[in-house]
Chains A and B, each alone.
Chain A
Amino acid sequence: MATTQLLSLTGVSKEFPGVKALDNVSFDLNKGEVHAIVGENGAGKSTLMKILSGIYKKDAGKINYQGNQVNVSSPIEAQRLGISIIHQELNLMPDLTVAQNIFIGREERRRGRVFLNNSKLNSSARELLAELELSLDPSDRVGDLTIAKQQMVEIAKAVSYRGEVIIMDEPTSSLTPAETDSLFKIIRTLKAAGKGVVYISHRLEELNKITDRITVLRDGEYVKTLNTSETTIPEVISLMVGRKVGQDQRPDPRPLSNEVVLSVEGMSNQNLLRDVSFELRKGEILGFAGLMGAGRTELARALIGADPKTAGKVTLRGKEIKISNPSDAVNAGIGYLSEDRKKYGLLLIQNLTFNTILSSIPAFSNKFGFLKIKPAGAMVRESIKQLSIRTPSENQYVKNLSGGNQQKVVIAKWLTRDCDILIFDEPTRGIDVGAKDEIYKLLTKLASEGKSIIMISSELPEILRMSDRIAVMCEGKLTGIIDNKDADQNKIMQYATKFRD
């Protein structure tokens, strides 16, 4: 059977003030195909998807859909044509039911069009869910579902428009491996039904499992389209970054100090953490591995006093300390870098200087509370140089920086505060491949300067590449601490699933 083309974009360009976001990009999608779009952040993936789903207007280029040239002028028009998008951050209403979410804006009504017909709504939803082989109850409240199930609701919603093209933007970013597998099953069902799926993901190892073709974008330009069966992940990565990147690097063995900086004993909290104990040494990177929901972020938040704990002794350089809120932790020299920088790390609408001195404002003020702006500015310029933050000046708003540079601003904040213990929660989430390397180098440098680092990461290659020792958690418990030289992905996964079997 000849493949039938569902969608094609040719010569699409889009310019924003000062930036060429897309330059003459082409892309096509066949019926029953999963076509991945990959590229670093800023490569133009989301701009392309936003053009395809009617959120942005293209400056140039053509879109052909089912044999006709179309103009996707708005999200509603995209829906009418049959192009649905599932955004990375889910757009569901937590207090409504599964059925109400799926058919939002298209509710079944009773005669007279005034009153809702809930039983009809639920039965339509049930049919749709059965068709997709999703085990969801239409009358469940969406807020009570796991993230993975919520994602399934989004997929059901996208399919309910009876569209031909479904765009998935980072659908697996918050799923466990098991959940990812069931997502892939659904995608295969969609394929079998002749739908076309555009698949965007940072997790390159998934591409082999689910995609037919891969299109690589770089700096807004089209690089190449590859058949998945004829390529390798290293090839895709080198096309993405335009150079070769080592995949399975390990840290150079460093002499480990025996000086214990921080020791945590018997940390527990109400719901999840059970008796977690570990020691952190001077100049060490202690990786924390585990599956989603293993309790790594919860451990970090309990440690810094952001969330209440029910038990747990914290000893800093041999002296027991009490941490009941984040300012105690900061005063003890412990800085936390959240996985969600925008929500928990940065003041996006403020400039670099403000963000960098946020933790150290008392140090930059006199005893009457007046700020000493000049030394602060000099300090910040020094940090910009030291961490090579790419910004026109220290007065740039942080929201205008890239993910990698934003991460560096958070690091600068803690270095300015003289924190010796840094807790990085997913330090490279949402950061593109090139900038990742830089963050890795920075972490290594900080460790070699004597800072002690806890690094929580869900990416095993990252854990193996960076950590001196690896602590593995599973369901709120610490299941093992392994030296890097004894560790491999298999071993870590064994510990990470210990309590599941």
Chain B
Amino acid sequence: MSQGNAVKTTENEAAGENRISAFVKREIGRVLALGSLVAIFIFFTIMRPVFASWQNVSGGILMSTTVIGLLAIGTTFVIITGGIDLSIGTATALVAIIVGKTVQALSLNVWAGILVGLIVGGIFGMINGLLITMLKLPPFIATLAMMKAAQGLALIISDLKPILFTTDVKGWDEIAQGNIIPKIPNGVLILFVGAIIAAILLNKTVIGRYTFAIGSNEAATKLSGVNVNKWLIAIYGIGGVYVGLAAVVLTSRLGSARPDLGLGYELEAIAAVIIGGTSLLGGKGTISGTVIGALIMAVLVNGLRILELQQEWQYVITGIVIVLAVWGDNVRRRRSGEVS
């Protein structure tokens, strides 16, 4: 009897161990990314202890990553489908300008203003999706065109001037800078809540499942009876909603809507997604990886600034990190036989 139990326990233990090793094996990409984030963090802390102060971490690192982080989270969906969205940077500026103008013209309150941002962003993303599915433009081309169009429209609508609307709306600056939870700026809270919602959408819902399916094999997904066009439009729409959220957070942080900001954000967001281990070929990717990727970039920029390295060098180092991250991932996959 007791012997039987003992055998059973060992079996269970073995099963448990297998589960842990399987987990580590499956999640090795993210474990490594998280490991590098921690390593970089420790490095800067040793160099300059002030780096690890909560003030620097929340105000300097986390707060500065909210906009790029939100854009990256939204565009992770698009990249997992095997697509790309180059328009998210200038679209952030366009949505910010439209929100500013609308809030001013209609004297909207803060909640209505946020809603306008999300809706306009979502529509903008769905237009990308329509161009890709209905006109059959490659995502690169469609979103390149939308990037230029958004840049121009932002300048036209704003008449080249920043829109100072935030002081007229009670609570607008609180969106990013308030503290619902003590010591944690709301912008940071929005980033993490946004990430959790995205992770649930991606892993637990139908649209997330189709996101992976389309990225794995669009033709097979279509022949399986899935209305791929409809879902692609919705997925680009999700990317757009996160653009809207990023735009709202940006205006709250800056205290205005500026038509000239945004260009270049798309590449930083895409870099964060790639560093986070999402494949540009589609079919693979995680939200947590993207968040880690965005944090690695923010930590680097902040740390190098604290080390008083010239900003030019920060760009060079970001480039090197992208190469190392993707190369390291390739080596790991080849070793584990995932790719030949």
Asked whether any CB of chain B lies closer than 8 Å to the CB of A198, the reply is no
Q: Known A327-B227, A371-B205; judge A358-B221 contact (CB<8 A).
A: yes
Contacts A343-B217, A354-B212 given: A413-B224 contact, CB under 8 Å?
yes
B213: which of A306, A347, A362, A371 is its contact (CB, 8 Å)? A347
Question: Do B225 and A359 touch (CB < 8 A)?
Answer: yes
Cβ of B209 within 8 Å of any chain A Cβ, yes or no, is yes
Q: How far is the CA of A455 from the CA of B278 in the complex (A)?
A: 39
B207 within 8 A of A: yes
Q: Contacts A344-B223, A345-B223, A369-B206 given; indicate if A358 touches B213 (C-beta within 8 A).
A: yes
Whether A417 sits at the interface, judged by CB under 8 Å, is: yes
A323-361 CB contacts (< 8 Å) to partner B: 325-327, 329-331, 336, 338, 343-350, 354, 358-359, 361
Report chain B residues within 8 Å CB of A347: 212-213, 216-217, 220-221, 283
Within B281-306, which residues are at the interface with A (CB < 8 Å)?
283-284
A417-B225 in contact given A343-B220, A348-B217, A370-B204 (Cβ < 8 Å): yes
Residue of B nearest to A331 (CB): B225
Q: With the chains together, A304 CA to B225 CA distance in Å?
A: 10
Contact (Cβ within 8 A) A350 B213 = yes
**CB of B219 within 8 Å of the partner chain:** yes
B49 touches A (CB below 8 Å): no
Chain A positions 8-43 with a Cβ under 8 Å from a chain B Cβ: 17
Q: Does B4 contact A (CB under 8 A)?
A: no
CA distance A211 to B288 in the complex (A): 58
Q: How far is the CB of B199 from chain A (nearest CB, A)?
A: 13
Find residues 215-246 in chain B having any chain A CB closer than 8 Å to their own CB: 216-217, 219-227
Contact of B204 among A343, A344, A359, A371 (CB under 8 A): A371
Interface size on B, residues (CB 8 A): 22
Give the distance to chain A from B318, nearest Cβ to Cβ, in Å.
Answer: 29
Chain B residues with Cβ under 8 A from A229's Cβ? Answer: none
Check: B210 CB closer than 8 A to any chain A CB. Answer: yes
Task: Indicate if the CB atoms of B224 and A358 lie closer than 8 Å.
Answer: yes
- The answer to whether B225 touches A330 (Cβ under 8 A) is yes
* Cβ of B182 under 8 Å from chain A: no
Chain B proximity of A186: nearest CB distance (Å): 31
Shortest CB distance A110–B (Å): 37
Most chain A C-beta atoms within 10 Å of own C-beta, residue among B223, B225, B283, B284: B225
Which A residues are CB-close (under 8 A) to B210? 361
Q: Which residues of A have CB within 8 Å of B217?
A: 343, 346-348
A326:B222 contact, CB within 8 angstroms = yes
Most buried by A among B219, B220, B223, B337: B223
Q: Which of A101-119 contact B (CB under 8 A)?
A: none
Task: Give A326 to B228 CA distance when docked, in angstroms.
Answer: 10
Q: Which residues of chain B come closer than 8 Å to A348, judged between CB atoms?
A: 216-217
A354-B213, A417-B225 given; A344·B205 CB < 8 A: no
Most chain B Cβ neighbours within 10 Å, of A344, A347, A368 = A347
* Contact partners of B337 in chain A: CB under 8 A: 17
Contact partners of A325 in chain B: CB under 8 A: 222, 227
Q: Once the chains bind, are B209 and A330 in contact (CB under 8 Å)?
A: no
Interchain nearest-CB distance for A260 vs B (Å)? 23
* Alpha-carbon gap, A174 to B48, bound state (A): 67
Contact B207–A369 (Cβ < 8 Å): yes
How far, in angstroms, from A344 to B220 measured CA to CA in the complex? Answer: 4
C-alpha gap A393/B212 in the complex (Å): 20
The interface residues of chain A lying within 8 Å CB-to-CB of B213 are 347, 350, 354, 358
A-side contacts of B284, CB under 8 Å? 349
Contact indicator A338/B223 (Cβ below 8 Å): yes
Interchain CB contact under 8 A, B220 and A326: no
Cβ–Cβ < 8 Å partners of A231 in chain B: none
The answer to whether A330 and B206 touch across the interface, beta carbons within 8 angstroms, is no
Q: Which chain A residues in 176-210 approach chain B with CB under 8 Å?
A: none
Q: In the complex, how many angstroms separate the beta carbon of B66 from the nearest chain A beta carbon?
A: 27
A348–B224 alpha-carbon span in the complex (Å): 14
Asked whether any CB of chain B lies closer than 8 Å to the CB of A91, the reply is no
Partner pick for B206 among A306, A338, A361, A413, CB 8 A cutoff: A361
Give the distance in Å from the alpha carbon of A417 to the alpha carbon of B224 in the complex: 10
Instruction: Report the nearest B residue to A350, measured CB to CB.
Output: B216
The residues of B that contact A388 with a CB separation of less than 8 Å are none
- Contact of A329 with B283 at beta-carbon distance under 8 Å, contacts A343-B217, A346-B217, A370-B204 already known: no
Residues of B within 8 A of A358 (CB): 213, 220-221, 224, 226
In the complex, the chain B residue whose C-beta lies closest to that of A17 is B337
Give the chain A neighbours of B223 by CB distance below 8 A: 304, 306, 326, 336, 338, 344-345
B221 — which chain A residues lie within 8 A by C-beta?
347, 358
CB contacts under 8 Å to B, within A369-417, are 369-371, 413, 417
Task: Fill in one digit per residue for A58-80: 1 if any B CB lies within 8 Å of its CB, else 0.
Answer: 00000000000000000000000
Bound Cα distance from A424 to B220, whole angstroms: 15
* Chain A residues within an 8 Å CB radius of B226: 327, 358-359, 361
Q: A354-B213, A358-B226 are in contact. Are A346 and B206 (CB under 8 A)?
A: no
CA distance A365 to B220 in the complex (A): 21
Alpha-carbon gap, A362 to B284, bound state (A): 22
- A330: chain B residues within 8 A (beta carbon): 224-225
For the complex formed, measure the closest distance between the CB of A499 and the CB atoms of chain B, giving whole angstroms: 30
Bound together, the chains give a CA A113 to CA B146 distance in angstroms of 44
Q: How far is the CA of A46 from the CA of B207 in the complex (A)?
A: 40
Establish whether residues B225 and A326, one from each chain, have CB atoms under 8 Å apart when the complex forms: yes
Question: CA separation between A336 and B220, bound complex, in Å?
Answer: 10
Contact A365 B205 (CB under 8 A): yes
Known contacts A345-B220, A359-B225; A350 and B206 CB within 8 A of each other: no
Please, which residues of chain A bring their CB within 8 A of the CB of B222?
306, 325-326
| A333 → B minimal CB distance (Å) | 10
Of B204, B219, B224, B227, most buried by chain A (CB within 10 Å of CB) is B224
Q: What chain B residues lie within 8 Å of A329 (beta carbons)?
A: 225
Q: Point out the residues of chain B lying under 8 angstroms from A354, CB to CB.
A: 209, 212-213
Most buried by A among B219, B220, B284: B220
A417 and B283 CA atoms in complex are apart in Å by 23
Docked Cα-Cα span, A343 to B219, in Å, equals 7
Residue of B nearest to A400 (CB): B337
Q: Which residue of B lies closest to A362 (CB)?
A: B206
Q: A345-B220, A371-B205 are in contact. List 17 more A-B contacts (CB 8 A).
A: A304-B223, A306-B223, A327-B225, A327-B226, A327-B227, A343-B219, A347-B213, A347-B220, A347-B221, A348-B216, A348-B217, A354-B212, A358-B213, A361-B210, A365-B205, A369-B207, A370-B206
- Give 5 A-B contacts (CB < 8 Å), ordered by A residue: A336-B223, A346-B217, A347-B213, A369-B207, A370-B206
A residues with a Cβ closer than 8 A to B are: 17, 304, 306, 325-327, 329-331, 336, 338, 343-350, 354, 358-359, 361-362, 365, 368-371, 413, 417
Residues of B within 8 A of A (CB): 204-207, 209-210, 212-213, 216-217, 219-227, 283-284, 337
